[in-house]
Amino acid sequence: MKHFDITVAGHVQGVFYRASTKAVADQLGVKGFVRNEPDGSVFIEAEGDAVSLSMFLDWCKEGPEHAEVISVRSDEGELKNYRNFEVLRKSR
């Protein structure tokens, strides 16, 4: 199991990026959360096996149909053992 902190920049708010991210995470068995950031980016904490996370990161670089992803930054972090994948409404 691995943990990634992922920041997605571009036109990624108001295009169902968070809802689509949850759907993809659920399909791949990735756990964690996604939330919009005040600067217009999307922040994701994702945990899963190496193969699932690799596919998840590939999807993050594309996003849903109307998204325009400019960059995806991912940093490996400490496992938090999330039980599911959630869409958070506000920054913590």
81 catalytic residue (yes or no): no
36 is catalytic: yes
Classify burial at 60, counting beta carbons within 10 Å of its beta carbon; exposed 0-12, middle 13-18, buried 19 or more: buried
Q: What is the DSSP letter of 35?
A: E
CA distance 31 to 39: 24
Which residues are known catalytic residues?
A: 18, 36
